[in-house]
Amino acid sequence: MGKSNILGWFLGLLLLFLGIIALFNYMNNFWPLFILVPGLIFEFSYFLNRKFHGVLVPGGILTTIGMLYLFETFTDWRFAEYTWPIYTLSVAIGLFQLYLFGNKRLGLLIPIFILGGFSIIAYFLMLFGNLTSWLHYSLLLPIILIILGVFILILNARKSNI
């Protein structure tokens, strides 16, 4: 194969690649596939041969974030203020896969529970904050004190009647 023939192949493939990228950029909603597809490749590469369980960590992270970005682009990022804990959850998912299919090192459970717990708590706080938007938090402490006081008085009254 001659030098000009190799240059022609290289230039043709380069232009084809740039054209595909430009087309995806034009379509705007498919750029997350550049994150999702490598994640799925990592996932499938492990489950096909079950040899290198370390690929499950980037596989879990990239697959989770790729699916999140697909969701966000198709919904015009309307839910981005509510989906941010998925970023930390994606790392917990990747590590959890490593724990499940690897050699089950107990040390992996620490970052899994910290990251996963953080994500769950963040969702709970967002949900709790939205459900109680009518509640003034400056009233929360007095209400808790009153409820505790009434509870203690009821317990005291029961003890004195017995």
Cα–Cα distance for residue pair 69/31, rounded to 1 Å: 9
Helices (H), ranges, 102-139: 109-131
- Residue 10, pLDDT score: 78
Candidates 35, 36, 32, 39; CA nearest to 60 is 39
- Residue 136, pLDDT score: 62
- Residue 71, pLDDT score: 92
When mean pLDDT is compared across 31-45, 47-61, 91-105, 140-154, the lowest value belongs to 140-154
